[in-house]
Structure 1
Amino acid sequence: MQIDMHYYGVFAIARSAGLTREAARIIATASQFVDDNAQTNGMEFPSAATMSTEPTAHHTTSVKNIDGESQRKVWVPFHFLPGNEGESFTERLVCRQDSKIARALRAHHLSLSDKAFYLELVGVLAHVYADTFSHYGFSGVSSRTNKVVNDSFEYRDLEPEIEAYIEKKKQRFFEKYGTGWVRNIKSFLAEAASGALGHGAAVTLPDRPYLSWRFMYENGEDSGWRDNPATFLEACKQLHAVFKLVAAQRPDLADVEQQREWADLEETVKAILATQGDKQTRIQAWQAACANGDILTIAETIPDYVDWNAGFEHINESTAPEEMMSLPSYRFYQAASYHRWYVLRELLPSYDLMVV
């Protein structure tokens, strides 16, 4: 998924589930920041205090440099949560929609409502959980199971100009990186990655909420029709349930006057997801629904997304550690660190999956 869902959609759904505007903003910002946080430079202070950052993404422009450790510590826990289906270890690492592992992660993170970084952790959860509804069928490690036949893509009920736009974007991607765009990455299985990482071979098609599409994997398996509008709608429904639980657990974060039942929102959200267009067009669909009073009991605007990296750039060695600890970016790093540890060291091993 992209910023239209991870930030604007998450904000709107969190508000409609009964969370305050500020709580919804923090959760939504953390959700999108998972994709924007490639920060690797920590900081040392004159007092000997240190702050370590927790990268949760790597930008596409540097994808050729991603190594096996990054796959294990970034892609697996934050973007392609393993679904634990199949016989082989590689098959079990493939992400699946709303898997048992995803449900276990959801229950665990929601049980931590007393943490200072709870809202940021809920934002991380929202990102990871939502991605299981779009990234299913792909894994977060370089694997042959991720490779697809490049000319096998088919689309259904797609406007001609949008299809042309998608094909142009796809062609530019393959021209830039080639069909073997991650061939130099070594997986932790100690083999050359002759396959692809994540859904790279499918470009951004899994992230487009309006798309109904299919393709062939290089191993001969047919993906079947992937109905993004239906899976994204289910993701929104489940996120609404998550945020209702947050509001119930933490009355101080709740705005129950704006709380709406999912049944009252479903058709509006369905229409938003069906909007065929680029990222900005889809963002505008969420903004318009809120501004028109279709999401809440009142009309209100969605605050613009503010990347927490911007605040980090103004920090220097003279910044007092106590100032740092009060920043949402610091709480995000706490949440990201905790999430990574829990997924890789406790959750996955409980399903006999040893990734690190």
Structure 2
Amino acid sequence: MQIDLHHGMTWVVARAAGFSAEQAKTIAHAAQYVDDATNYGHIEFDNGAAYERVATAHKMLDYKNLDSLKNMKVWVPFHFLPGNGGLPAGENPDGSFIQKLVCKPGSYVAQDMVNECIADKHRPYALHRLGITSHVFIDTWGHQGFAGINHKINEVTDIEDLNGEAEEGWLERITEFFSGVAQDDIPSLGHGQALSHPDKPHQHWRYINGLGEVVERNNINDFLLAADELCKVYQQYLGVPTTGLSQYVKTEISKCFVEFDMDDGEQRHQLWLNAIAEDRFDLGAYQLTYIAKGEGSWKHQALGTTRAKGDEKVYPYSPAFLTSDWKLFHDAAKKHRLTIIDDILPKYGICVS
């Protein structure tokens, strides 16, 4: 999924579940920032203090970064949560180990992730961690059938657009993304070979996976179910009945999936922001914004820098850094990653560290 759903829709679902507009803003911002926090390593301050942050994303289609893309500490805990074949801990899916790593919608692993997040809600970074959890949770629908490693199972061929639009040849389109790369060298990482088909909420499509299986995906149905289940996660977090979305909000979200049918995620995102400002969902009009990098971003507010890449040699230290959204996000990301890799996955016989 892309920014339209990880940010715009997530805010709507959080408000519908009972969070305040400002709480929903923090949750939705953290959910989207998972895709934008691409820097990692230590930063230093002028008073001798230091802080280590983690990367929660890499650029999926940057072939030059393939070695980084193989980093399971990024793709497995933050984007392609292993599904263990949809089975509970202690049971194994048929086939080889790779079947345990394939993402499954709303899996037992995902439920364990949610429970661990809720158990941590007394922390200062609680809403930031809930945003990260939200991103990973709904991606189990968007990324279902794919694994967060470079493996044959992620191979995609014979893509068909079932929305009635002409589909440019798969090989032509994918070689445009991986310019100058031979066909046999195109990486089978995550849904890279499927391009953006798994991310578009209006997409109805079909493909053949690396196992030779024909897979048909209706993103409207899948993503609407993901939104409803995410609402239940939020209601569980708040300790209220887990009834899911109201029929009105569910209907409006579904209409947005259909109406906002352009391929560009940023364009769809702006339409979601407009709908929120116009109170389309009957949750109260709100001017929601999102700045990933530069002036006004979480990083700028925390460190005073507008650099999108790289770091200053030394940052001026302020006590406010300790409670900044940027630091709280990275605190939450480190705890999330540790919990997934060291605590949850081993219960399912999965070791990726």
Question: Which TM-score bucket, shorter chain as reference?
Answer: 0.7 to 0.9
Q: 2:193 aligned with 1:153, yes or no?
A: no
Question: How is 1:199-214 mapped onto 2 (pairs within 5 angstroms)?
Answer: 199-214=191-206
Partner of 2:212: 220
Partner of 1:27: 27
- What does the per-residue CA deviation read over 1:110-136, in whole Å, with 9 as the maximum and x for residues that have no partner? 121101100110010011001101001
Aligned equivalent of 1:231, options 208, 219, 222: 222
Partner of 1:254: none
Count matched residues. 330
Q: C-alpha separation between the residues in 2 aligned to 1:45 and 1:175?
A: 40
Partner of 1:187: none
* One-letter amino acid of the counterpart of residue 235, structure 2: K
Partner of 2:326: 329
- What does the per-residue CA deviation read over 1:254-283, in whole Å, with 9 as the maximum and x for residues that have no partner? xxxxx9952231110111112311323422
* One-letter amino acid of the counterpart of residue 249, structure 2: L
Deviation at 1:68, TM superposition (A): 7.1
Aligned equivalent of 2:251, options 267, 273, 284: 267
Aligned equivalent of 2:304, options 302, 308, 314: 314
Contact 1:84 1:351 in 2 (8 A): yes
Q: 2:352 aligned with 1:351, yes or no?
A: no
Contact 2:345 2:351 in 1 (8 A): yes
Partner of 1:126: 134
Q: C-alpha separation between the residues in 2 aligned to 1:244 and 1:350?
A: 26
Tell me the secondary structure at the aligned position of residue 153 of structure 1: strand
Q: C-alpha separation between the residues in 1 aligned to 2:204 and 2:49?
A: 51
Tell me the secondary structure at the aligned position of residue 226 of structure 1: strand
Partner of 2:273: 287
Q: 1:67 to 1:312 in 2, by over 3 A?
A: farther
Q: C-alpha separation between the residues in 2 aligned to 1:243 and 1:331?
A: 19
Indicate the RMSD between aligned Cα atoms, in angstroms.
2.7
Partner of 2:233: 242
* One-letter amino acid of the counterpart of residue 314, structure 1: G
Runs (4 or more) in structure 1 with deviation over 6 Å come to: 164-168
Contact 1:276 1:282 in 2 (8 A): yes
Partner of 1:79: 79
Question: How is 1:127-142 mapped onto 2 (pairs within 5 angstroms)?
Answer: 127-142=135-150
Q: C-alpha separation between the residues in 2 aligned to 1:124 and 1:227?
A: 25
Q: C-alpha separation between the residues in 1 aligned to 2:133 and 2:2?
A: 15
Q: C-alpha separation between the residues in 2 aligned to 1:261 and 1:200?
A: 32
Q: C-alpha separation between the residues in 2 aligned to 1:125 and 1:245?
A: 13
Q: C-alpha separation between the residues in 2 aligned to 1:180 and 1:286?
A: 39
Contact 2:273 2:289 in 1 (8 A): no
- What does the per-residue CA deviation read over 1:125-152, in whole Å, with 9 as the maximum and x for residues that have no partner? 0110011010011100110111122xx0
Q: 1:70 to 1:116 in 2, by over 3 A?
A: farther
Tell me the secondary structure at the aligned position of residue 4 of structure 1: helix
**Gapped regions of structure 1 (runs ≥ 5):** 184-195, 250-258
Aligned equivalent of 1:276, options 261, 286, 297: 261
- TM-score, with normalisation over the residues of structure 2? 0.85
Q: C-alpha separation between the residues in 1 aligned to 2:226 and 2:351?
A: 27
* One-letter amino acid of the counterpart of residue 105, structure 1: M
Q: 1:179 to 1:110 in 2, by over 3 A?
A: farther
Q: C-alpha separation between the residues in 2 aligned to 1:42 and 1:284?
A: 34
Q: C-alpha separation between the residues in 2 aligned to 1:310 and 1:222?
A: 46
**Gapped regions of structure 2 (runs ≥ 5):** 86-92, 306-311
Q: C-alpha separation between the residues in 2 aligned to 1:103 and 1:203?
A: 28
Q: 2:114 aligned with 1:106, yes or no?
A: yes
- What does the per-residue CA deviation read over 1:329-350, in whole Å, with 9 as the maximum and x for residues that have no partner? 1011100000110000010001
* One-letter amino acid of the counterpart of residue 74, structure 1: V
Tell me the secondary structure at the aligned position of residue 161 of structure 2: strand
Tell me the secondary structure at the aligned position of residue 149 of structure 2: coil
Q: 1:132 to 1:279 in 2, by over 3 A?
A: same
Partner of 2:308: none
Q: 1:134 to 1:347 in 2, by over 3 A?
A: same
Contact 1:27 1:119 in 2 (8 A): yes
* One-letter amino acid of the counterpart of residue 8, structure 1: G
Partner of 1:43: 43
